[in-house]
Amino acid sequence: MKILLLEDEFLLSRAIRTFLLSSGHIVDYYDNGLDVLEVIQEKQHDFYILDINTPLVGGLQCLEVISVKYPKIPKIIISAYNDIDHISSAFNFGCDDYLKKPFNLKELEIRMTHLTSYQEKDIEEKKNPIIQLSEHYKYDNEKNFLYYDGIVQKFTKREHSLILLFISNLGQIMTDESIQSFIWEGEDVESSTIRSLVNRVRIKLKENLLQNVRGFGYLMKKSV
């Protein structure tokens, strides 16, 4: 893979680069976020590893831009911060995983393998218009219908849009901000309105396909 690494600690960045290079990856290394913002306009990488606290421009700001430009590319935030505010911000800005320093390089490799394998699986599944969510539920990407034992399930326009959002991001946490942006196109809505929409969909579903991730948002995972 072609990997972009943003890390200003020299010894850590050298260790990560050496480890990834020994595994056969190509690593583009940057020690400040300003250079990252410039390079992502010119080329795309297969994986992004970003530290939060970097000179000139921080990793979260870079993450936000990368998530908009390359939403499907895996992104890991690495940081010494372990408080809920920083973790929540990282996921709100589109990271797929959060790794606290210090960490074992093998753990980084395990998390990268998990994210890339999930992405490859997702790409393969999208070639097939039918997504089997559970023993009884399946979604047809061509017709945009959710079926339960072969019967089309009926939802309002916003409820169906919410299901489509989760189907398009299986296994990923959807924050209130993500739901607001997709369903209401950025229009200001109360958090209670978003929760109400999610709860209405959960009530209509005959299985617990939607899960609440406390402090972060919601996700849909396949059970097959």
Per-residue pLDDT tens over the stretch 85-136: 888 888 888 898 898 888 889 899 988 988 887 665 555 555 668 888 999 9
CA distance linking residue 122 with residue 116, whole number of Å: 10
Domain containing residue 66: CATH number? 3.40.50.2300
Q: Are residues 178 and 212 in the same domain?
A: yes
pLDDT tens digit sequence for 172-194: 888 888 888 888 876 788 989 99
pLDDT at 223 exceeding the cut of 90? no
Mean pLDDT of the chain: 88
Do residue 71 and residue 138 come from a single domain?
Answer: no
Q: Identify the domain boundary among 87, 122, 157.
A: 122
- Whose tokens are 């890339």? That residue is 116
Residues of the domain holding 51: 2-122
pLDDT tens digits for 203-216?
A: 999 999 998 888 88
Domain count, the chain: 2
Distances (CA, A) of 94 to 21, 121, 164: 26, 20, 18
Global pTM value: 0.57
CATH number for the domain including 188? 1.10.10.10
Q: What pLDDT does residue 170 have?
A: 83
CB 90 within 8 A of CB 98: yes
Based on the fold, state whether residues 109 and 144 are members of the same structural domain. Answer: no
DSSP state of 174: B
Pairing of strands 217-220, 210-213: antiparallel
CB of 96 closer than 8 Å to CB of 172: yes
Who's near 27: CB < 8 A, 6+ residues apart?
A: 3, 4, 5, 16, 17, 20, 21
